Amino acid sequence: MSSTDNKVLTLSEVRELADDKNKCIMMIDNNVYDITRFLEEHPGGEEVLKEQHGRDATNAFEDVGHSSDAREQMKAYKIAKLDSNDTKNSRPTVVDNSKGDTRDSSDESGSSWTKWIIPLVIAVAAAVIFKLLSKPGQDINRPPTAI
């Protein structure tokens, strides 16, 4: 855990930070990043990042389909979380899974397991039904036992 884990910035504080045009500050998924140091290293180039300065770059970031390596890398540039009062307004174009709920990103793990649990249940049910149906013709070979 880094010291930035507990830091929270409001949208106006982020905007103040972004007044410094020599920096590159952006919000992705309700976290605030200072990626000034990363500009030159970014495989996608500096320009695309500079365009997002002071903005919510969640959509732009997701549209590229960044690798898990990229997601790992970005943690090093996180400076704070976005204040939960500001999370809705800052990402108006993002499809909001939490229906306006502004709890933190631990919600996401909740929604991701639901994606595979339904197919899993269906697969298990199908396997059980298949097993029941394919039991070698017990009823045919074995006469009913007299009581």
Given the complex with ligand HEM, which of 64 and 129 has the nearer CB atom?
Answer: 64
Pick 19 or 69: Cβ nearer ligand HEM: 69
DSSP string, 69-84: HHHHHHGGGEEEEEPT
Interface residue list for ligand HEM (CB under 6 A): 33, 35, 42-44, 48-49, 52, 57, 60-61, 64, 66-67, 69-70, 73-74, 77
Task: In whole angstroms, give the CA distance from residue 123 to residue 146.
Answer: 38
Minimum CB–partner distance for residue 125 and ligand HEM (Å): 37
Give 21 or 142: the residue with its C-beta nearer to ligand HEM: 21
Token readout for 77 is 């540039």
Burial class (CB in 10 A: 0-12, 13-18, 19+), 42: middle
